Amino acid sequence: MTTGRPSRPSSRGRGIPEATVARLPLYLRALTALSERGVPTVSSEELAAAAGVNSAKLRKDLSYLGSYGTRGVGYDVEYLVYQISRELGLTQDWPVVIIGVGNLGHALANYGGFASRGFRVVALLDADPHRIGERVAGLHIRHVNELEDVVAEHNVSIGVIATPASAAQDVCDRLVGAGVTSILNFAPCVLSVPEGVNVRKVDLSIELQILAFHEQRKAGRAASLAPVATVGQNLARPLDGAPDLSRRTVPDEDDLPEAMRA
Amino acid sequence: MTTGRPSRPSSRGRGIPEATVARLPLYLRALTALSERGVPTVSSEELAAAAGVNSAKLRKDLSYLGSYGTRGVGYDVEYLVYQISRELGLTQDWPVVIIGVGNLGHALANYGGFASRGFRVVALLDADPHRIGERVAGLHIRHVNELEDVVAEHNVSIGVIATPASAAQDVCDRLVGAGVTSILNFAPCVLSVPEGVNVRKVDLSIELQILAFHEQRKAGRAASLAPVATVGQNLARPLDGAPDLSRRTVPDEDDLPEAMRA
DNA sequence: TAGATTGTTAATCGATTAACAATC
DNA sequence: TAGATTGTTAATCGATTAACAATC
């Protein structure tokens, strides 16, 4: 805490770019795999390939943490695993609570990738009375009313929302009220939180939509004659701010509109 | 595909920035919600708020699609829903196959957000013989050996991998071999695919790790005395490949070393 | 017309990348 | 020393944002 070396662009220096932070877990995973295979040292080129990025980016990213490599040699795998873990805060234990134990909540509760990185699921909460007591992943499902108790009891600072969209904001508010300052949201909706609370969102269908966008392009490129978008380009018509005809009437698209999840 | 109007910076014009493409689904969701509430028109300010972005960004994003708003008025909700849907390729039907029907595969198969956007799960495949025939989300689980048949039969161009990491690359290869050119990967590993194949990855634990990073910073800021990181700073050891002194050995500097914030 | 709001410009900011001097 | 590879620089690229002229 006394260190004042200005030569190190690390954490204090300026702060690690978000894009870099988002890639550290990738490097960590690749390094863990190498570590398990007993590989002692790795070059930026090799590690970059394993993580799916280019080596310049990798070296730049790592340089934000410090100078942990050796010129002419590479990086010591174990040492780098530790440094990245530490930077990410994974050398400590993170009690996590999951709210919403539907299919997704189940999957999350059983997901091995959490435990192995210091995330410990301390409670599963659900609003459905019929589910209370049910055993999932070694835990008994508790009622969401116990949220505040659970958070206090286990000092939870990370909450995972896996409820339907309709319940998400309420649950979010309660988490925040109970003192949780990091939220991972799987519900397909935007959460509003006060300053100082961090929210990250995982949206299963958004990724699919992005793929569809590119897939469509490919199709269009391959065969401009293809039967692509046939559903209503005839509807494509400017707006008006006045009478409005040619609107999307498309039946098949509005039917299970936000059929949300469960 | 014959259009040559140079005035439109849309699809053909130059290509929509990736960052914009990734936000279109957000706008679409917000618009769909407005549409369901019967709201006829929305301003960029309102829509931006609903989607959780700022209005300048929203307007810039929409401008890549065309000029679909009306100055002084705003955007016609239905019309914009259609335009974005079309741009994303959601006005057509996308047959999807899910490989790996564990907890996550289950959740995905039952996820309403897919069907409502034109994604139709046409088959669930698994390698576990005991699971074949089981009924999930209205489909019978089939053996992964049928992958090629399923792809051909339903003209699948999007595959969703929800297998363990160890099986993911194999499944990926088979998908690609069968002609699938878009893959959504939930397995925690990097997939290698030939040019022309699009892969998107959803990693449940990476998001949590990113949250932990920020949470750690907060904790450090709040209480520099906190009992953070206790798990392994003894591993913090310089690499070798050569004697190496001046490494960061600092003990107390290593435990809540960067917990300081910046 | 007056008020409102878009679409676009231009400035700024941040991220990526190639290249190479430093150095093991 | 010679070869290898890092850490860093600087150029480039892309994304964000405020501001405002265009225009409904």
| Whether pLDDT at B81 is above 70 | yes
The secondary element (H helix, E strand) that includes residue A168 is helix A165-178
| Whether pLDDT at B238 is above 80 | no
d(CA A125, CA A247): 44
Q: Nearest protein residue to D22's C1' (by CA)?
A: B71
Position B214 confidence tier, pLDDT thresholds 50, 70, 90: very high
DSSP state of A131: G
Position B116 confidence tier, pLDDT thresholds 50, 70, 90: confident
Fold of A94-204: Rossmann fold (3.40.50)
Give the per-residue pLDDT at B231.
Answer: 35
Give the per-residue pLDDT at A221.
Answer: 61
**Cβ within 7 Å of strand D: which of B 45-104?**
53-54, 56-57, 59-60, 70-73
Measuring from the CA of residue B73 to each C1' atom, give the nucleotide at the shortest distance. C5
Report domain A10-87's class.
mainly alpha
Tell which A residues from 127 to 156 touch B, by Cβ distance under 8 Å. Answer: none
Give the per-residue pLDDT at B223.
Answer: 52
Query: Which has the higher per-residue pLDDT, A60 or A113?
Result: A60
d(CA B198, CA B172): 11
Q: What average pLDDT does this structure show over A181-199?
A: 94
Q: Which CATH architecture has domain B10-88?
A: Orthogonal Bundle (1.10)
Position A223 confidence tier, pLDDT thresholds 50, 70, 90: low
Distance of C1' in D15 from CA in B241, Å = 41
Candidate from A15-19, A227-231, B29-33 with smallest mean pLDDT: A227-231
β-pairing, A158-161 with A182-185?
parallel
Q: Which of A70, A184, A256 sits opposite B112 (nearest CB)?
A: A256
CB atoms closer than 10 angstroms to residue B234:
9
Interval B188-205: pLDDT, tens: 999 999 989 999 999 989
d(CA B190, CA A143): 38
Cβ–Cβ < 8 Å for B183, B191: yes
Q: Nearest protein residue to C2's C1' (by CA)?
A: B72
Residue A125 pairs in a beta bridge with A99, A142
**Cβ within 7 Å of strand C: which of B 27-46?**
42-45
| Whether pLDDT at B181 is above 50 | yes
Q: Chain A partners of B76 at a C-beta cutoff of 8 Å?
A: 239-241, 244
Distance from CA of B184 to the nearest CA of A (A): 7
Asked whether residue B135's C-beta has any atom of DNA/RNA strand C within 7 A, the reply is no
- Confirm or deny that A103 is annotated as ligand binding: yes
Asked whether residue A59's C-beta has any atom of DNA/RNA strand C within 7 A, the reply is yes
Give the per-residue pLDDT at B221.
Answer: 61
Q: Which nucleotides of D are covered by protein (CB under 7 A)?
A: 3-10, 14-19, 22-24
Position B254 confidence tier, pLDDT thresholds 50, 70, 90: very low
| Whether pLDDT at B24 is above 90 | yes
Asked whether residue A118's C-beta has any atom of DNA/RNA strand D within 7 A, the reply is no
Give the per-residue pLDDT at B211.
Answer: 96
Give the per-residue pLDDT at B218.
Answer: 84
| Whether pLDDT at B224 is above 70 | no
Q: For residues A141-152, b (16+ Cβ closer than 10 Å) or e, as one string?
A: bbebeebeebbe
Q: Chain B partners of A103 at a C-beta cutoff of 8 Å?
A: 103, 106-107, 110-111
The residues spanned by each domain of chain A are 10-87, 94-204
Asked whether residue A71's C-beta has any atom of DNA/RNA strand D within 7 A, the reply is yes
Asked whether residue A16's C-beta has any atom of DNA/RNA strand C within 7 A, the reply is no
Q: Which candidate, B256, B189, B254, B16, places its Cα nearest to that of A66?
A: B254
Q: Chain B partners of A211 at a C-beta cutoff of 8 Å?
A: 158, 182-184, 198, 200
Interval A139-185: pLDDT, tens: 999 999 999 999 999 999 999 999 999 999 999 999 999 999 999 99
d(CA B41, CA A121): 44
User: Whole-prediction pTM value?
Assistant: 0.83
Interchain proximity B218–A28, CB inside 8 Å: no
Measuring from the CA of residue B67 to each C1' atom, give the nucleotide at the shortest distance. C7
Interchain proximity A236–B110, CB inside 8 Å: no
Torsion of CA A62, A67, A68, A72, to 10 degrees: 100
Query: Which has the higher per-residue pLDDT, B210 or A7?
Result: B210
d(CA B66, CA B30): 19
Residue tagged 């994604």 (tokens) = B119
Give the per-residue pLDDT at A84.
Answer: 98
| Whether pLDDT at A4 is above 60 | no
Q: Which of A2, A70, A258 sits opposite B32 (nearest CB)?
A: A258
Position A257 confidence tier, pLDDT thresholds 50, 70, 90: very low
d(CA B117, CA B114): 5
d(CA A109, CA A114): 9
Interchain proximity B239–A212, CB inside 8 Å: no
- CATH number given to B94-202: 3.40.50.720
- Confirm or deny that B102 is annotated as ligand binding: yes
Closest-approach residue (CA) in chain A for B196: A218
Measuring from the CA of residue A68 to each C1' atom, give the nucleotide at the shortest distance. D6
Asked whether residue B69's C-beta has any atom of DNA/RNA strand C within 7 A, the reply is yes
User: What size, in residues, is chain B?
Assistant: 262
* Interface contact B1, partner A, CB < 8 A: yes
Cβ–Cβ < 8 Å for A28, A47: no
* Interface contact B112, partner A, CB < 8 A: yes
d(CA A142, CA A99): 9
Interchain proximity B79–A22, CB inside 8 Å: no
Position B14 confidence tier, pLDDT thresholds 50, 70, 90: low
- Confirm or deny that A102 is annotated as ligand binding: yes
* Interface contact B215, partner A, CB < 8 A: yes
Q: Which of A83, A215, A261 sits opposite B157 (nearest CB)?
A: A215
Asked whether residue A19's C-beta has any atom of DNA/RNA strand C within 7 A, the reply is yes
